[in-house]
Amino acid sequence: MSKTKNVKKMAMDEVSAEPFNYPPELSAGYVVRIAHRLLQRELEETLAFSGVSRGQWFFLRALWNEDGLTQRELSARVGMMEPTTVVALNGMEKSKLVYRVRDKGDRRKVRVHLTETGRGVREKLLPLVKKINDRATAGISAHDLRKFHLVIEQMTENLRNEKE
């Protein structure tokens, strides 16, 4: 039995007739979700004028870090399913943000490259998105922000390891 199944079975074994009290504000998932939704709404509103969707934004970020990724690599970096990536890339091609080419060494792979327009929107959009981040982190010390990042990274690692 996998680790995940063991945890779920143990959780079911521990169910009692007594009502369990677990307020949402004590749940890491709940508070992260609320912050995430607010950040995503701000991102959508900020990007709206540019013609770049929130979904496209994540692909642009990945390509700004490493141009020429395969569609599969891009999906993995952004955490999207491959069919979703294809739909987003189709829109991005129509908007002249990216173009795709077959890999010369492996014709099964399709590499995604930024166009001049795709590279150019970086200088317009990154400062705007940084303002969202600055607003969200206002009043939080650098030390606490470093700690926050370490905590979130550890939570992410814990959950990734749980699935393996």
Q: What is the pTM of this model?
A: 0.77
pLDDT at 162 over 70: no
Write the pLDDT tens digit of every residue in 108-149.
899 999 999 999 999 999 999 999 999 999 999 999 999 999
What is the amino acid identity at position 100?
R
In the chain, the number of structural domains is 1
| CA distances for 3 relative to 12, 108, 145, 158, 164, angstroms | 14, 36, 32, 12, 8
Considering the domain boundaries, does residue 112 fall inside one? yes
| Domain of residue 38, CATH code | 1.10.10.10
pLDDT the model gives residue 2: 56
Element (H, E) at 98: strand 98-102
Average pLDDT, the chain: 89
Considering the domain boundaries, does residue 163 fall inside one? no
pLDDT the model gives residue 7: 55
Write the pLDDT tens digit of every residue in 104-114.
888 889 999 99
pLDDT the model gives residue 105: 87
Rounded Cα–Cα distance for residues 61 and 66 (Å): 9
Considering the domain boundaries, does residue 6 fall inside one? no
pLDDT the model gives residue 6: 59
pLDDT the model gives residue 51: 86
Residues 6+ apart with CB under 8 A from 57: 43, 47, 125, 129
pLDDT the model gives residue 1: 52
pLDDT at 8 over 60: no
Considering the domain boundaries, does residue 147 fall inside one? no
Domain range enclosing 38? 27-132
Write the pLDDT tens digit of every residue in 55-80.
899 999 999 999 999 999 999 999 99
Rounded Cα–Cα distance for residues 94 and 36 (Å): 29
Considering the domain boundaries, does residue 4 fall inside one? no
> Which pair of tokens denotes residue 11?
């959780």
Considering the domain boundaries, does residue 1 fall inside one? no
Considering the domain boundaries, does residue 15 fall inside one? no
Considering the domain boundaries, does residue 59 fall inside one? yes
pLDDT the model gives residue 71: 93
pLDDT the model gives residue 24: 85
